[in-house]
Amino acid sequence: MIQSRLSSFPQEFLLLLKSMSFYRALLVCIAVALPISIGAISGRVEIGLAVGFGAFWCSPSDVSGSPKHMRNGILFSALLVAIVTFIANFIPDNIWIILPSIGILLFLISLIAVFGFRGSLISFSGLLALVMSFAFSSDSVSPLVHALLIASGGLWYLALATVWYRLNPRGRTEEALNEAFKLTAKYINTRSELLYPDTNREVLQEELFQYQVELGELHETLREILLSERRSFGKSTYNRKKVLVFMQLINILEQAMANPVNYEKMDDLFRNHTEPIQAFQQLLKAMCSKLHLLVEEPKSKETEVEVVLQKELDEIQRLIEVYAHSPYSEAEGVIILQNLYKYQTQQVESIEQIAWIVQGGNTRNIEELSESNAVKFITPQEYSFQVIKDNFSLQSVILRHSLRLGVVGMISFAVGEFLEVQNSYWILLTVIVILRPNYGLTKTRAKERTIGTLIGGVVAVGVVFMVHSVVIYAILGVLSFLIAFTMIQENYRAGAVFITLSVVFTYAFIEPDSWNVIQFRVLDTAIGAGLATLGNILLWPAWEVKNIRGVIATSVQDNQRFFSEIVALYKSKEPRPNSYNLARKEAFLSVSNLSATFQRMTQEPKSQQLNYKEIYQLVSINHTFLSALASTSTFIQNHPTTEASKSFSLAAKNIDANLERCIALLKDNSIPDQLEEETKLSGFLENVETKTLIAMKETPEELAAEYFKRDINEAYLIIEQLKWLYSLSNQMLGLIKKLDAME
């Protein structure tokens, strides 16, 4: 394992140097170092420091997204850090005035996070400016001029970021799309492992949850980048092709989720005849290889992988025919294999279409989103006072976090002053970096930060004792800073190691007693991490178990809306409307959000993981329900279907009623009355399915007939999916009732 990691390190390091994270870190280094160097050369160090710090504090807002949002984020950050620095200059040097001032300012600044992810980054810039104002103040210029210099640092960073974007406008798009390719490949690979009968499917299902969360976040970023740019700059050929690739990636994910197979049933049917299942696994592995190849060599005209994919499909088709005509075959097994084959064929077609687009093929005949419809897929963020007003309640996670940060911030500063540590503001800095709105992330960050600081301290001790050159300290300080900000998003622990190294080498460059710097750095980090963790446990804790009912309700509601669109699609036989696409997007995002909430809950203390088993089952059922919906909708869109039957309408009506009752229970509303015909439904569906299976068994020689395959496939799959959806909705309802009884 270690040898494998070491052998792959050079390649991983090279990829890191090519990443946007490295270029952003390089941009930050230039933005900070250049004004400080000019200030030092011209004898105006304080001015250089003010501009450099202003650039550094505003840099967090430079994240993936549209250029407009990036620009606005940095501008608001510059305004905030200037205001915070100006106010901090007037706080008297009196502990009894400093403490409440810190508490109030921390609360107000962190409250900006109610405006979403970018709002939280602007808030973090303000928090950095507040804490660092205790370390860096200017006596040579007035507070107003000092604040304006800080703001000019933000504008300086914006200018650099804008120039970099103009030089490399496609960098963010390419990186986000490449990451989407890799995550989609991982998702498909995990799906392939689920086909093994002896595998631990519970562990693999949790992996799928994690990949869905990451893909959901990444897809939102890509929507913002691609669709916002199209609104701002119109349709370029490049943008159009990337949108088409993105749409195919979404289709691949839906097709991967659209799993028409009951694993337990498939295990029973093919326990002694595993050849078709193994062939499907080989196909899925080949699809993963193709997705990786499209990232590593996108312009390659190599057809070997396409040949392999087609060869695998042909082999699967041959094995299905062999199985269908063998004496041990079962008609139900043949239908399962045929349906699974069709789904995999659609995935292969999507992958090949991506390859066609990437390699410069003609895209005129490929369906795309109109501009009016594309706008609807961008999740809007409201920026108004009403948002703050709506969050001014202890029910709000952000308000609780703001209160918690204010109190812990005051305590951390007081502890630093009481212990008379070398740089007491380091404890406060550690708190604002580590303390997150939820316990799980705070605990993880505290652990990673502490371990990273200890490792960095040990390495720094060795270097400082062996090397006594200030020039080398300066070089190592800059390199450590660059690596730290490259790694901080990819690997927080590694980032913490290099942050510690950069701080130690910077101080070693300025003053000789670096041992004290290392000692206090480790001590301050440990104290700050401990206070942040305790604060999350003791002060207005926002345990996920208290919020998860609402998250489940939203997921069920979005699944219900998606189900209604599928039913309408099946009945109308019309091309899918934009309302279907929007409902699908919201259902996928809601399930991803539910997975993320549940994963945060698993990181919390065991005492707060109430009704863990039942909640886990509800999360799993929601995922399975969406998978069944995706399977049904994919079948309907890719096959000619008959008129909606009585059984279909009856089942759809009862599934919808079950979902309505689930939502009502989760929201503590009154439950709608049970439908009169509900008691007839299960028996009715069982009877229809039995007749279908009898028809398959009585006419096996007609399995090859196209019309027979079409009608039997539709009858079997649709009825199986309806039975499954109805069963899942019943299980969901039973679990929610059980939760209510336990609470």
CATH assignment of the domain containing 231: 1.20.58
DSSP codes, 643-658? PPPHHHHHHHHHHHHH
Residues 436 and 528 in one domain: yes
Residues 160 and 222 in one domain: no
Output 578 or 421, whichever has higher pLDDT: 578
pLDDT, position 406: 93
Domain boundary among 542, 571, 593: 542
- Give pTM, 2 decimals: 0.81
Residue 2 placed within a domain: no
Residue 335 placed within a domain: yes
Residue 51 placed within a domain: yes
Residues 524 and 439 in one domain: yes
Q: Count each helix (H run) and each strand (E run) in the chain, helices first.
A: 29, 0
Q: With 50 as the cut, is the pLDDT of residue 534 above it? A: yes
Domain boundary among 542, 576, 602: 542
Sequence-distant (≥ 6) Cβ neighbours of residue 146 within 8 angstroms:
50, 85, 86, 89, 137, 138
Residues 219 and 90 in one domain: no
Contact 401, 110 (CB under 8 A): yes
pLDDT, position 202: 77
Residue 662 placed within a domain: yes
Residue 727 placed within a domain: yes
Residues 302 and 343 in one domain: yes
Phi-psi region of 65 (alpha: psi -120 to 50; beta: other; left: phi over 0): left
Residues 30 and 148 in one domain: yes
Euclidean distance between CA atoms 172 and 152, whole angstroms: 26
Amino acid at 183: L
Residues 52 and 176 in one domain: no
Residues 592 and 656 in one domain: yes
Residues 397 and 370 in one domain: no
- Residue 2 CA from chain centroid, whole number: 28
Residues 415 and 504 in one domain: yes
Burial category of 292 from C-beta neighbours within 10 Å (exposed 0-12, middle 13-18, buried 19 and up) = middle
- Residue 363 pLDDT class (50, 70, 90 cuts): low
Most confident stretch, 402-416, 565-579, 604-618, 648-662: 402-416
What are 399-414's pLDDT values in tens digits? 999 999 999 999 998 8
Query: Could you tell me the CA-to-CA distances from 322 to 135, 197, 273, 651, 742 in Å, in that order?
Result: 76, 21, 11, 35, 52
DSSP 267: H
Residues 333 and 433 in one domain: no
What are 651-662's pLDDT values in tens digits? 888 888 889 999
pLDDT, position 307: 66
Q: How many Cβ atoms are within 10 Å of 51's Cβ, its own excluded?
A: 26
Euclidean distance between CA atoms 523 and 517, whole angstroms: 10
Contact 719, 685 (CB under 8 A): yes
Residues 145 and 175 in one domain: no
Domain boundary among 507, 542, 577: 542
Contact 277, 208 (CB under 8 A): no
pLDDT, position 410: 93
Residue 601 placed within a domain: yes
Euclidean distance between CA atoms 655 and 682, whole angstroms: 11
Print the domain residue range for 639: 546-742
- Residue 114 pLDDT class (50, 70, 90 cuts): confident
Interior CA angle at 125 toward 437 and 167, to 5°? Answer: 120
Q: With 50 as the cut, is the pLDDT of residue 688 above it? A: no
Residue 545, both tokens: 């178990």
Q: With 70 as the cut, is the pLDDT of residue 333 above it? A: yes
- Residue 647 CA from chain centroid, whole number: 39
Residue 333, both tokens: 């097994």
Residue 587 placed within a domain: yes
pLDDT, position 510: 62
Euclidean distance between CA atoms 396 and 400, whole angstroms: 6
Q: How many domains does the chain have?
A: 4
Residue 271 placed within a domain: yes
- Residue 705 pLDDT class (50, 70, 90 cuts): very low
With H, G, I as helix, E, B as strand and everything else as coil, classify residue 365. Answer: coil
